[in-house]
Amino acid sequence: MTHTWQITTVDDAARARIAAARLAAAHGVSTLERTRLVTALSAQLRQCLVKGGRWRLTLRTTVPSTAGRAGRLTVTVDAGANGAGPNEAENRPSWQASVGVPEPCHDDDGTPRVPRDRTAFADALLSADDDTSRVLDQLTEQERLVAFHREELHQTNQGVLALHAELDAAGRVQRELFGAERKARTEAESARRRLTFLADASAALTASLNHEEILHRLPRLLVPDYARSVDVWLFADDTKARGHAAHPAAAVAAARTGRPQYAADHPSGLPGVDDQPPSALNPEQPLLCIPLPSRHTPLGVVTLTPPRERWSADDAVMLVELARRAGIAIDHAQRFEHNRDIAETLQRALLTDLPTTPGLSLAARYLPATHGLNIGGDWYDAFRQPDGGLVAVMGDVTGHGLHAAVMMSQLRTALRAYAVDGGTPGRLLTRLHVFLHHLQPDLYATAVIARFHPDDTTVTWAAAGHPPPVLRTPDGDVRVLDARPGAMLGIPLHQEIQDRTAQLPPGSTLALYTDGLVERRAQGIDPGIRRLAEALSGEGAADLDHDLEGAADRILEPMLRDSQRDDDVCLLLCHVGGPAKPCIPEQTSA
């Protein structure tokens, strides 16, 4: 629908403005859109009146359709066809504005009613600004809302700023906590590393009972992580050498006071360490001198030069503790070496000089265990009886150490005393069993005795809990004399140990031994006895006749290849028919 107005006067413009406002209201245009349209139209009409001439205002309405097409109210102002020249009309541009129409016009014919009466006309013209008033009221309300929201936003911003400040403070605290945690973790890792090193170093130092080996291990443990160089001053070695080697004054002070000393041109700041002036021997090199303590007096002093970095307080505490443990390890090793020397001297004193007998050759070997004091309860013996017979003995007292050695000596002496009265091997072992049971009820022993007589081609033997003898005949055949032996000596049991006999033609060899030669923990004793039999069988008859000592060495060599040497080893070879010559027993050192 289209409506047209000719605009030449102010009244025409007012009526056109009223018509546009009412038509927009009739079509349900919102107050804000209607005000915008009327305001823009008023400004355009004002320009038209200023320019003068005839103008045409057109209101064109398209209503919304049921198909969903939106309606529009279009207002057009252009130059009228009358009152203006052709060229002038062509040069005047048209003005156009439009708004959406949400609903059809409520008037019957859709024509806006503009009153002609001057009073009604004035009222209609003035009432056209009601929309503007309502819009202004809405704007005032919006301003209040904007002011409210501005204040609210300001408060929110203040809260955000406060929150940012709190977050920043929390972030600083968290960073400080993270830093403290990293520092604590680093310190814990350093402490763990020092404790691990201390434990490993202590195990390495105490694993040896040789004090010289400990002195060699100590520098290898400390260089290069905890020292650039290590010098160990051991007082006992210095005394033995009668030397007068120059030692730093700080080392002498540590030896005299028993306290660690630090020699440098700056204070150490290390706990428990006394500061000293720089060493005159090397003034530019800081020195840390730590005594090596023992149960009574210091054994020596270890002098360290610093690694790439200076020692920390924790390093100093760890080094002092390591020196303490090293001193204890050296002290234990020296005591062990002293006791071992005593034990070896005693063991050599207990070894028997083998007798010479026509027609019978003897060769003995004794190897002490490589663990412990190198002294145990194994023994061998050979002696003559008044009737001309020769008794060969192999025994083993349970346990190791001086106590076992003393008991072995007593048993050997008692056995020799009993043998003076005569008696067979079984009778001698029976009397020795009673003696040991009454002398030491908690100590036991095993033994085997073989008796040879120059007028007899047999050997009489008896065993009490001991590995069986091994016999090699002249033709090279080897067999184990495994007749049932008696029980161990000293057990709380009454027993009569029986004698056994075996043929012993010239050229035969009888081997007596202890379990240390044939027993292995993972295999037992039987495989070892078979290996001994094979080794004895491999010896030639001529070698046994002329070189029984060499045969003993050759038999021992393969038997000891897989031995851990945790028990004493004893071997006694008795060869019939060999040349008579004195045989001095040989002790093989560990």
Instruction: Give the 3-state DSSP-derived string for 371-415, with helices as H, strands as E and coil as C.
Output: CCCCCEEEEEEEEECCCCCEEEEEEEEEEECHHHHHHHHHHHHHH
Residues in the chain: 590
Query: What are the φ/ψ torsions at residue 513 (nearest 5 degrees)?
Result: -160, 170
Find all residues with CB under 8 Å of 496, minimum gap 6, and list them.
426, 430
Successive 10-residue mean pLDDT values, the chain, 590 residues: 86 84 83 85 87 88 73 85 47 78 66 68 67 76 86 89 90 88 85 89 87 89 90 77 71 91 90 90 89 85 88 90 91 84 71 83 84 70 90 87 78 91 92 89 90 90 94 92 88 92 93 90 85 91 90 90 77 78 43
In this predicted structure, what is the pLDDT of residue 246? Answer: 81
Give the CATH class of 208-340: alpha beta
pLDDT tens figures, 218-249: 999 998 888 999 999 988 876 555 455 688 99
Neighbours of 273 (CB within 10 A): 23
Place of tokens 């070189």: 547
Query: Could you give the 3-state DSSP secondary structure of residue 446?
Result: strand
Consecutive H or E run containing 315: helix 313-350
Q: Residues of 182-214 as b/e, b for ≥16 C-beta within 10 angstroms?
A: eeeeeeeeeeeebeebbeebbeebeebbebeeb
In angstroms, the Cα distances linking 480 to 10, 397, 542 are: 152, 23, 22
In this predicted structure, what is the pLDDT of residue 82? Answer: 47
In this predicted structure, what is the pLDDT of residue 244? Answer: 57
Torsion of CA 469, 473, 478, 480, to 10 degrees: -30
Q: Sign (positive/negative) of CA torsion 131, 137, 141, 143? A: positive
In this predicted structure, what is the pLDDT of residue 552? Answer: 93
pLDDT tens figures, 451-499: 998 888 899 999 999 999 999 999 889 999 988 888 999 998 899 999 9
Query: Could you give the 3-state DSSP secondary structure of residue 60?
Result: strand
In this predicted structure, what is the pLDDT of residue 109? Answer: 54
Output helix, strand, coil percentages for the chain, rounded to the nearest 5: 45, 20, 35
Torsion of CA 472, 475, 477, 482, to 10 degrees: -40
The CATH number of the structural domain formed by 351-587 is 3.60.40.10
Neighbours of 380 (CB within 10 A): 23
From first CA to last CA, the distance across the chain in angstroms is 131
Facing residues of 460 across strands? 451, 501
State the Cα–Cα distance between residues 498 and 496, nearest whole angstrom. 6
State the Cα–Cα distance between residues 513 and 497, nearest whole angstrom. 19
Alpha helices in 52-129 (DSSP H): 86-91, 118-127
Query: Could you give the 3-state DSSP secondary structure of residue 145?
Result: helix
Q: What is the DSSP letter of 467?
A: P
Q: Domain spans of the chain?
A: 2-128, 208-340, 351-587
Query: What are the φ/ψ torsions at residue 5 (nearest 5 degrees)?
Result: -130, 140
Beta-sheet pairing, 300-305 with 470-472: unpaired
